[in-house]
Structure 1
Amino acid sequence: MTDFQKILQESMIWTEGLAAVLSVVYYNRYNKEGYWRYFSIYLIIMFVSEVIGKWGGLIIDYNKQNFYNYFVIPIEFLFFYWLYAAKSLGKPKLFYIMSVLYLLSFLCTEFFFTTKKIILSFNYTVGCLLLMILVIMEYYKQINSSEILNFSRNKMFYINLGVTLFYIGTLPFWTFFNFIKEYREIHYIYFSYFLMSGIIMYLLFSISFIWGKQSSS
């Protein structure tokens, strides 16, 4: 990792912390249903997880790869399935279906793929593809909404844009990570994009709490 990427990595962690703090301050704004508090809790968990991932090894001995593959990343996908399908789109059954499909991908990994990887590529690919479906559905909902002209006040607009840049944008990087890492320049560019898009995503999450409100379903 270059010095530039180290700066980006630490910036991403503190941007997560900023988003978590702002979510605590602003989550009750326009929050008639009250479920945005769970987004705040999610951001706090993600920030704490990244702090553990960055500096936890200095305090305790733990398997960093398993921590991310079996705890952090599953929480990310399952939370967004819930936020998109069950809450924003109003399709709780879709949330359960996608959650089951994603969790079943772990069985496939255990039986057919090696688990000794930085990121479990198959699980991440399945998780992102399912999330991509929800992202497209959310864009369709926003485009066809009567409040399309007031998109800047729509909380999910910022969240959807951030998720698109980070999760969908980095899907090829983690799916083909074992191939990309063999090509140093491509790996450098894509890993840098991964870090920068993460920073942008958490900034957009912060903006969603300050400027946005939940549009009506």
Structure 2
Amino acid sequence: MTDFQKILQGSLIWVEGLAALISIIYYNRGNTDRYWKYFSIYLILMFVCEIIGKWGHQFFEYDKPKFYNYFVIPIEFLFFYWLYAAKSLGRPKLFYTISFLYLLSFLPSEIFFTTKKIVFSFNYTFGCLMLMILVIMEYYRQINSTEILNFSQNKMFYINLGVTLFYIGTLPFWTFFSLLAKYKELWDMYFNYFLMSGIIMYLLFSISFIWGKRSS
């Protein structure tokens, strides 16, 4: 890892912490729906998970790949499925369907792929594709509603943009991780984008709490 990447990685963790702190301070601002408190809880949980992922081995033994693959990453996807499908789009059945399909995707990973990777490429790819469908649906909903006129006050506008940059933008990186690892320059380029887009995403999450005044 280069010095630049180390700086980005450290910055990402603390930007996550900043987003969690801002969410605690601002989540009540202009919200008529209480479900935004769960977004705040999610950000706090993700920050704690990143702290464990970074320094946890210094205090206790744990299996880092299993921690991320069976706990952190599934929570990320399931939470965003819930936020998009059940809350923003108002389609709880879609949330249950996509969540079931995502959890079902662990079966082929367990049977046909190695389970020692820091990220299961198949599960992550499938999860991102499901999330991409929801992102597109959310863009369509925003464009075809009066909310587009006040996008600067729309929390989901910032969240959707952040998710697009990070999860959708880094999809090729994790899908072809093993292949890209053979080409250092290309891998470094994608890894830099992964870290920078993560920082931008959490900054956008922070902005959604500060500027967003609508519940959806």
- Offset at 1:214? 3.0
Matching residue's letter, 2:43: L
- Offset at 1:186? 0.3
Q: Give the stretch that moved more between structures: 107-116 or 83-92.
A: 107-116
Counterparts of 1:98-113 in structure 2 under 5 Å? 98-113=98-113
Give the unaligned 5+ runs of structure 2.
none
Matching residue's letter, 2:214: Q
Task: Write out per-residue CA displacement over residues 151-182 of structure 1, whole angstroms, 9 at most, x where no aligned residue.
Answer: 11100000000000000000000000000011
- Offset at 1:185? 0.1
Corresponding position: 1:85 with 2:77: no
Match of 1:142 in 2: 142
- Offset at 1:215? 5.1
Matching residue's letter, 1:135: V
Matching residue's letter, 2:117: K
Counterparts of 1:3-14 in structure 2 under 5 Å? 3-14=3-14
Match of 2:175 in 1: 175
Distance of 1:199 and 1:116 partners within structure 2: 27
Corresponding position: 1:95 with 2:95: yes
Q: Give the stretch that moved more between structures: 86-95 or 114-123.
A: 114-123
Distance of 2:155 and 2:125 partners within structure 1: 26
Match of 2:131 in 1: 131
Task: Write out per-residue CA displacement over residues 21-73 of structure 1, whole angstroms, 9 at most, x where no aligned residue.
Answer: 00000101122120000000000000000000001111111111111011000
Corresponding position: 1:48 with 2:48: yes
Runs of 4+ with deviation above 2 angstroms:
213-216
Q: Give the stretch that moved more between structures: 155-164 or 108-117.
A: 108-117
Q: What is the SS of the residue equivalent to 2:105?
A: helix
Corresponding position: 1:58 with 2:61: no
- Offset at 1:116? 1.6
Give the unaligned 5+ runs of structure 1.
none
After TM superposition, the score normalised by the length of structure 1 is 0.98
| Preserved contact between residue 30 and residue 215 of structure 2 (Cα < 8 Å) | no
What RMSD, in angstroms, separates the aligned Cα atoms of the two structures? Answer: 0.8
Distance of 1:214 and 1:161 partners within structure 2: 16
Matching residue's letter, 2:175: T
Distance of 1:77 and 1:206 partners within structure 2: 19
Distance of 1:66 and 1:214 partners within structure 2: 37
Match of 1:16 in 2: 16
Q: What is the SS of the residue equivalent to 2:115?
A: coil
- Offset at 1:213? 2.6
| Preserved contact between residue 33 and residue 215 of structure 2 (Cα < 8 Å) | no
Task: Write out per-residue CA displacement over residues 97-138 of structure 1, whole angstroms, 9 at most, x where no aligned residue.
Answer: 000000000011111111121210000000000000000000
Matching residue's letter, 1:40: S
Matching residue's letter, 1:75: I
Corresponding position: 1:2 with 2:2: yes
Match of 2:195 in 1: 195
Distance of 1:8 and 1:193 partners within structure 2: 10
